[in-house]
Structure formats: structure tokens, C-alpha cells
Structure 1
Amino acid sequence: MIRRELYMSRIRPFIGNELIKVLTGIRRSGKSVMLDLIQRELVDSGVNEEQFISINFENMSNAHLCFAEALHEEVTRRVNCIHGKAYLFFDEIQEVVGWEKCINSFRVEFNCDIYITGSNAKLLSGELATYLAGRYVEFVIYPFSFGEFSELYHTVFPDSDSREMFTQYLTDGGMPYLSNLRYAEQPSHQYLQDLYNSVVLKDIVKRNGIRDVDLLERIIAYITANVGTTFSATAISKYLKSEGRAVAPETILNYIKACEDAFLFYRVRRQDLQGKKILTVNEKYYIADHGIREAVFGGNMKDINLIFENIVFMELLRRGYKVTVGKAGEKEIDFIAEKQTQKLYVQVAYLLASEETIQREFGSYDTIRDNFPKYVVSYDEFDMSRDGLKHMNIREFLLSEQWN
């Protein structure tokens, strides 16, 4: 188990206070492990493990607690046996019917510190916003970064170098459990395929009452094949029509939103840098884990430029940046990343193999006159920085503690 300090450093200031800590993210991204890490931190600070109440609602032995009244009764009984503050850990809380009222009741009734996880963005909408408005703090837990992947991969294969690990990361992605399979190709692909099916069936189909599963899978396949490519719901509608499926763009948008709520895809808006406005058409989408794309649909090495983009985009999200795609006249900036007073621009390419490619990637910045850092990231080992524009190898970029 690695400590995932990127997340712990954000959660740590809230440990022990009255705010409810909500951990969200795609299924199997490591939310349960984060609960374990928090418990370890509490024990190290002197808290007795007997003060913990931990329930995983995907465990069948807890099926009888998946109703608010039953859960309230059980937790009340156990809290009354605890001396001092109780620490409540609820994993996949969305499985509990009426859980919002229950969690709010615990907050009011007991001297407690509450942590919950869930695999759907709707966790923080609707009733929760009413019951817990201003009383929770959310942390999105993503699959492993390349840095985290490398740390764990190195414990399995101590002699591996950075280049070898990145090659493995390109196909496997960052789902934490793969280390238990020693990154063996067939078992890893089988695990990722099963994970994908679980996300689709449990977190998208079941939770949204989707009946046309075939249509959903076609839309997912289209978006997955076109990660990092600008398109619209109308474009998907025309594509499906060519395959004999007449579907309204509104229906497609609803299905895509369900996928976003399950943290399978992330939507990226486009920003007009000259007009200084957010564009509402032709957005881009990226997949939460490119390893799932390889296992289910294949083609990562064929589409390596798009996979590089996907990896860089997810790294920017992990580090807390708000990300948009930049449009500067006829040119496009892959990513504009902003966080508080920080801002950086990132162009991503596989190889700067020709002068034409070099001119295109560096030339995207020609009309941008501000002094924020501007990067071109590629697989090239040789530093091609020029005119104040920084070039970095993608491994170096991903492993850098900070960009400036």
C-alpha cells in the first residue's frame, strides 16, 4: 500500500473536525484504501481503533444495513459503546436507501467524525445539498498517477527503470489493484474489462434506470475511440444514424452525463483566448483511466498521441487544476490549467519528429503574450526548449513535483 500523500495532504487538515469528508471517484480507484490510510493516521495520532465504526455497503454481510433506519439503529448501538469521539467510515454509501438523512442525524446526535465514499457524482446533489449544505468537503480520488504507478510497480519489479514503467503504464493505466496481479497482461485485461462492466451496469445503467443498454455502449465506444477529439452530440447522432440508430442529440447528452456522473468520462470545455469566453460547442472528453480503454476497446498504442493527452489531462486534474482547451484564432492549445493564481499552458505531442511538427506545437503559442509557463510535452528525450517555451519529456513532466 502506498500512502497517496497527494490526497492525504488535502484531507489531513479536516481530520477530526465536524465537516463530513466525502471521497468520490470511479469505482476501484482506491477510495477504500484512502479510508484505511485515514484510520492509520488517526491511530498514529493516538486514537484507539475501538473508536472506529467501519461499514462497506457492497459487502453482502451488510445488506441488512442498506436502509437508513436499520443503519441508524446499528450505528447508535455501537456508538453508545464507545468512550470519547466516534469515527464513522461508510464505504459506497449510495447503496443505503435514504442515507442522507441518516448521515445528517449522526452529525447532529453524536460526538463523531464522519467519512463516506461513493462512486457517483450525484452523491453531492439533490437531497444531500439540502441536508448537508456547507457541512461537507469533497475529495475526488483518481486512478494512480504515473508517479504512484511507478512507486508500486517498483515494489513488484525492483530492477525496472522509468522508461519500462511508462511503457507498462501506457497499456495498463492506473487502477491500483493491478499490482496484486503483478501486471500480468491477460489477468490485468480481464480485471479491467470486469471493472468496466461493473461501472456500466451498476453505476450507469442501474443508477439511471437506462433501458437501452446497447445504445449506451455504442455511445461509450464512440467517446472512448475519440478521447481528446473535438465533437458534439450532433456528430454522435449522425454517426449512430449511419449505423441504423436514430437518436436525438438530447438523449445522447443525457447518456453522456450519466457516464460523467459515474466518473468514467471527464468533459473539457473550450476557451476562446481572444474573445475571453467559454465556448459551448464541440467539447472534448477524456476517460478516467486509459488502461480501461486498452482492455475493453484496444488501440492505445495506435492512438498514442491521444493517450498522451489523456494522461496529461488526468494529471492536471489530480493536482487540482481547472482545465480547459484553448482556442487562439485558428490554432488550438491542448490545455489551459488554472488553480488560484497559478496558470500554465500545455501542448502534448508524441514525437517532435519533423520541423513541421516542431513549428506547429511551439507555434500554437504565437499569439499568447502573457508570462505564464508554456510547455510542449512529448516522448522526445532531447530538450527542444526555445524562445522561453519549455519542452519536457512526458515522464519528466508527470514526475515533476511542480511546474513553473
Structure 2
Amino acid sequence: MINQSFIRREAYLEMIGNYIDKPVIKVITGMRRSGKSAILALLREELLERKVDEERIIFLNFESQRLAALADTESLYKYVTEYAQKSPGRLYILLDEVQRITGWERTVASFRVDFDCDIYVTGSNANLLSGELHTLLAGRFVEIPVYPLSFAEHLVFTKAKGEDGGKDLNTQFIDYLRYGGLPGIHEMDINSGTVYPYLTDIFNSVILKDVIGRHHIRDTELLERIVKFLMDNMGHIFSAKSISDFLKNQGRKLSTETVYNYLDALEEAFLIRKISRYDIKGKRQLETQEKYFFEDHGVKHAIQGYRDNEISGLLENLVCMELKRRGFRVYIGQLGQREVDFIALRREEKIYIQVCYLLSDSAVIEREFAPLLEIKDQYPKLVLSMDPIWDYTKEGVRRKNLAEWLIKKIP
């Protein structure tokens, strides 16, 4: 069996490679088990290929109990200092899951000042980039977000693992729909009996360690109800007040402010992504009524089960996360009383996207194309669906097969 760490995720390695030996700290973020450690290990291999002396590379994974003695900043600083004194030359410092070290920001900032070094850190918390790090290192770090596998990466992994034998593209896409993109699922047989228990353990780890533990949440049952609401309403617009009212109907009182705090904690742990609305005509972001999607949809299915009647929201989830992988800022479009599923912005680019399962009849085609046809600017407009591969264009609005769009990475 090939270890997942040997399967290269080229897009991330290229992105990180552009910053090797550049005077910024590389901060690699992402949810638990999304592949950050494997990418850091591949970076180590890249450094060795660039003729960096192995003795000049410090690789510390703070999830290992063997590093318990380095659990405070003083011990970590002393360790690196002693390491640096062994021989002259540039150090390459790779710190995995660094958020486990309280006050790590100041120590890492000191490394940058006190040693000739190139620094890379990973963490499973979105707040890794806030607070003291911003104060100490404003303009001196770059974030490299790591996401679960895209569908294109899923195909690479299944081929490398010998899992693709006899499976056509559609069958592999169904696997991806059901089981998501966390790399670890490719270390086992791809079926619900083996994958879902693994994903359930990851979900429990995120909830217990990254949400409940970090934010000292006492009412865990209430948190679970909020997560269930998010799962039941994936792809639907709602507000924190909607959740508060829902809980009130179940006999639980929770203020809107507290709901927002719970949602922020879930988003901080990279379990969910909030997508705000954008007024297309007014060209401004709207402050209320958002959609929430899951970083990895396989985790949702592991907890709740795969439901065919949720296919529309699931496909939106896939498209949203793919746009995030490609570096777009993503919004829900508001056009009068109509909704555009996604507006994606990246530098000078803009794309409008509608997502549906099947364009089954003329009424569905009219419904999906109509909002895009109202937009009269020159930017690309797409309707993505699971219909068999055929291209169709109507007044500049193009229809594409969703699976093919995910692979080819075209507008």
C-alpha cells in the first residue's frame, strides 16, 4: 500500500515552492486530516532535492507525544537554539500543528529575528492568523490554505492506490459525492462500512478538540443540535435568528449572539464555511441571511447518512469548495427576487454560476438560465449540471457538465 504522503499534491507544492527561502513565514492552514502534515513532509523531500543538508532541517510534529517536552515556548526556543549552534548555515524550521504550543507566535517571530532560517508552520485553526501573529508579523507571513481533495485530486489518489480499476468517471464521481475528499479514506477500502467510521472519528475530534475544548463550550448537546441544523439546511439561506427560532421550537432558548459564537467556532475549526450574499445591482455585500457549506461533505454523510434528496445542496457544496480551492472569493448573488447560486471573484476575474442536478425539462432550463440572462455584463456565466456531457449556450450563458468542470478547471 502506498502511503498518502508519497502522493504529490502539485498545486500546493508549487504554491509553497514559490516561497522557499523568501523572507516570509509560511502558514499552512486547513481542517484536521486534510493533508497538511503530508504536504509538510513532501516539502521536506523538496528541500532535500534542492541539496539542503538534512541536518539543517528541523521537522517537529506537535501531535506526537514524543515532543511533550517541547510543549512550552521556552523549551521550543531552547531546542532550536541548541540545534542552530551545532553547525553554521541556514535552518529550515517545519512546525506541524503549532497551535498546540501556547504563545507560539512570539517564539516563531523570535526565530525569524535571531536565526538565519526559513519557517513553515501548519495549524488546524483559522485563528492561527489572527491576534498576536498579525501584531508581531504584519506583512511578514503568507497563508497557504489546504483543502480536502478536489475531484481531480481524488482521481489522482484513486489511480495511485489502484482503486480505479473498472470504475468509469461517473462511478468515481459518485464515490466522491458519498465519501468526500479527506486523503485518509484512500488508506482503506472505499465503502461506507470502512470510510464512515473513520470520518465520524475525525468529526468527533474536530468537535471535541477544536470547538468544545478550545472555546470551553459546556452545552455540547446544544452544539450538536446546531450542527444538525446546518446539515439539514446545507444549500439553503438562513440566519442565526432562524437557528435560534428553531431551537426555541424544540424547547431550547439560545440568543442570536450565542448562535453566532457557535457558528464562528465551527468555522474557525474549518468544519463549515459561511458564504455571504452579494447584491449584484447594488454591488455590495449583504450582512444578513447566509449559506453554510461543509469543508468536507463526506464528514456530513458519515454523521447523517447520504441522502439522495439533498443532491442539489450537495452539488452546491462541491462547487463552492472548488471555487475556494481555486482562490476565488465566493458569494451568493442577489438579483432582485432572484438568486444566483455563486458569484466568484479573483483579482480582475468574475464568474456567475448556477448549479442544478439535471436540466430535466424546459421549465427547469428556464429557471436556471433566467437569473444569468438578466446580468448584462461581459463576465462568464455558467450553468453546471449532471446531465450527460453536452455543451449548450444561450445568449452567452453556457451549460457545462459539473464533473468535467471540476476536472478541467476552466471558467
- TM-score, normalised by the number of residues in structure 1: 0.97
Alignment of 1:4-403 (within 5 A): 4-155=9-160, 156-159=162-165, 160-381=167-388, 382-403=390-411
Deviating more after overlay: 112-121 vs 154-163: 154-163
Report if aligned partners of 2:320, 2:342 keep a CA contact under 8 Å in 1: yes
Q: Deviations along 1:237-263, whole A, 9 cap, x unmatched?
A: 110011110111110000000011111
**Over aligned residue pairs, what C-alpha RMSD do you find?**
1.1
Query: After the TM superposition, which of the residue ranges 5-14 and 166-175 deviates more from structure 2?
Result: 5-14
| Cα displacement string for residues 210-239 of structure 1 (whole angstroms, at most 9, x for unaligned residues) | 111111111111112211110001110110
Letter in 2 for 1:179: H
Task: Give the SS at the match of 2:358.
Answer: coil
Which range is displaced more, 140-149 or 204-213?
A: 204-213
Quote the Cα distance in structure 2 between the aligned partners of 1:190 and 1:79.
Answer: 43
**How far apart, in 2, do the equivalents of 1:300 and 1:315 lie?**
21
CA contact (8 A) 2:178 2:306 kept: no
Change (3 A) 1:226 1:47: same
For residues 216 and 158 of structure 1, what CA distance do their matches in structure 2 show? 38
| Deviation of 1:330 (Å) | 1.3
In the TM superposition, what whole-angstrom CA distance separates every residue of 1:274-327 from its partner, at most 9, and x where no partner exists? 122211111111100000010011234320111000000000000000011101
1:35-84 C-alpha deviation (Å, 9 max, x unpaired): 11211211121112221111111111111211000111111111222441
Q: Distance in 1 between matches of 2:343 and 2:294?
A: 18
CA distance in 2, matches of 1:83, 1:386: 65
* Unaligned ranges ≥5, structure 2: 1-5
1:149 Cα offset (Å) = 0.6
In structure 2, the residue corresponding to 1:81 is in which secondary structure? coil
Contact 2:98/2:122 (<8 A) preserved = yes
CA drift at 1:332: 0.7
Cα 1:385–1:181 shift into 2, 3 Å: same
* Distance apart, 1:341 and its partner CA: 0.8
Q: Distance in 1 between matches of 2:282 and 2:345?
A: 18
SS of alignment partner, residue 216 of structure 1: helix
Tell me, yes or no, if the aligned pair for 1:170 and 1:300 is still in contact at 8 Å. no
Q: What is the CA-CA distance between 1:2 and the residue it aligns to?
A: 2.5
Q: CA shift at 1:328, angstroms?
A: 0.8
Number of aligned positions between the proteins: 403
Amino acid at match of 1:162: L
Please give the secondary structure, in 2, of the residue aligned with 1:345. strand
Q: How far 1:387 moved relative to its partner?
A: 2.1
1:77-101 Cα offsets, whole Å, 9 max, x none, are 1122244111111001010122111
Structure 2 residue identity aligned to 1:157: E
AA at the equivalent of 2:36: K
2:3 corresponds to: none
- Indicate if the aligned counterparts of 1:300 and 1:307 stay in contact, CA closer than 8 A: no
> Percent identity, aligned pairs only?
43
2:352, 2:308 → 1: CA distance? 25
Distance 2:57 2:355 in 1: 46
Check whether the contact 1:344–1:373 (CA below 8 A) recurs between aligned residues: yes
1:142 counterpart SS class? coil
Q: Residues 24 and 31 of structure 1 are in contact (CA less than 8 Å); yes or no, is this contact kept in structure 2?
A: yes
Q: Please tell me the residue identity of whatever aligns with 1:394.
A: L
Conserved 8 A contact 2:152-2:406: yes
Secondary structure at 1:71 match in 2: helix
Residue 127 of structure 1: CA displacement?
A: 1.2
Q: Structure 2 length normalisation: TM-score?
A: 0.96
Residue by residue over 1:179-227, the C-alpha shift from the partner in whole angstroms, topping out at 9 and shown as x without a partner, is 1013232121011000000000111111111111111111111112211
Q: Could you tell me how far 1:107 is from its partner in structure 2?
A: 0.8
Deviation at 1:401, TM superposition (A): 3.2
Cα offset, 1:25, TM superposition: 0.8
The answer to which of 36-45 and 195-204 deviates more is 36-45
- Structure 1 unaligned runs (5+)? none
C-alpha distance in 1, partners of 2:137/2:224? 35
**Which residue identity is paired with 1:145?**
S
**Paired residues of 1:22 and 1:117 also in contact (CA < 8 A):** yes
For the Cα contact (< 8 Å) 2:373–2:395, is it kept in 1? no
